[in-house]
Amino acid sequence: MTKNDGMSPEVQRMIQEAQAMMTDELMEETLRSQVAVDPSHLASLLDLVAIGITNGAWRNSCIENWHAEGRLSDGDMMRINSYTTDAIRRRLKGWCVESGITSASSTALASADVEDVDVLAGRLFRWLANAERRLPTGMTLGELARSQEDLEEYEDHADRVLGGFAGQMQDRGVRFGLLRTACHGALACSQWWAHPTWPDRVERFIRVLDDATNAHWGTDGERREKLGAEPPSVQDRDILRATLLVNPWKLDPTAAEWIVDAGIGYLRPETGATSD
């Protein structure tokens, strides 16, 4: 995987200067103050790292263009993003165990070396770019890409992002790289599954579904009326809550689309709550 992606020396210098201003302490404080996450807790940190990698190496790529073209619906994107986040998180945890990082504290990441980092980045790239990898929508990545040219465009993107991911860890240390990626996931994807605010979002969404007068539905509830009838799998609130909390990629397509249209990602904060 490439590290600098053909960037000019001037651009590389500017990036290096910006990175030099970032410290472990600054990013730790960001996680504490912005998302109430203890950065010393390894499992919590890896949740956000998985979100950050998914957003950078998957969602913010030509995948978003394919979504805009209609190859994927909004519900598809929600299911695939959560599925990808879960798969990357499991691979991160497996990598930690293989690298001898068995402590619950993220300070143990200091024991990982450059070779460990290369193994991780290579493993993530091979999984993400595998044309035969089946998405929760039923199609493979190759089928979604539709052409070798489009598939290679995605491969190039994933290569660049994961090359940069590995590069920053090689330059500044594994914990620094993971903290930086975690901050990206925490700040850029606050509406995602596995984010520490997701359980509260789900609970608020369930409450809003049963409150037709909630401001979320508009002044006269017109937004709710436009949605139409709830799909059967949405009507059972206990099952819906459990699925959203544990594995939203298992939602059926109709339910996933309805939930996104219902605005789960755009819930208004409740009185005294932090704004999304």
pLDDT over threshold 50, residue 275: no
DSSP conformational letter for 217: G
pLDDT confidence bin for 171, thresholds 50/70/90: confident
pLDDT confidence bin for 137, thresholds 50/70/90: very high
End-to-end CA distance of the chain: 36
> What is the structure's pLDDT at 5?
45
Contact status, residue 128 vs residue 63, Cβ threshold 8 Å:
no
| Percent above pLDDT 90 for the chain | 75
pLDDT over threshold 60, residue 7: no
pLDDT over threshold 50, residue 71: yes
> What is the structure's pLDDT at 24?
87
Which whole number is the average pLDDT over 42-49? 96
Helices 148-172 and 42-54 cross at an angle (nearest 10°) of: 140
Q: Tens digits of per-residue pLDDT, 202-251?
A: 999 999 999 989 999 998 888 998 998 999 999 999 999 999 999 999 99
pLDDT over threshold 50, residue 4: no
Token output for 206? 């369930």
- Report the distance separating Cα 83 and Cα 193, nearest Å: 9
| Of the candidate ranges 122-131, 133-142, 146-155, 265-274, the one whose mean pLDDT is the lowest | 265-274
pTM summary value = 0.89
pLDDT over threshold 50, residue 33: yes
- Identity of the residue numbered 62: C
Mean pLDDT of the chain: 90
pLDDT confidence bin for 19, thresholds 50/70/90: low
Q: What is the CA radius of gyration of the chain?
A: 20
pLDDT over threshold 90, residue 262: yes
pLDDT over threshold 90, residue 276: no
> What is the structure's pLDDT at 16?
54
- Report the distance separating Cα 254 and Cα 196, nearest Å: 26
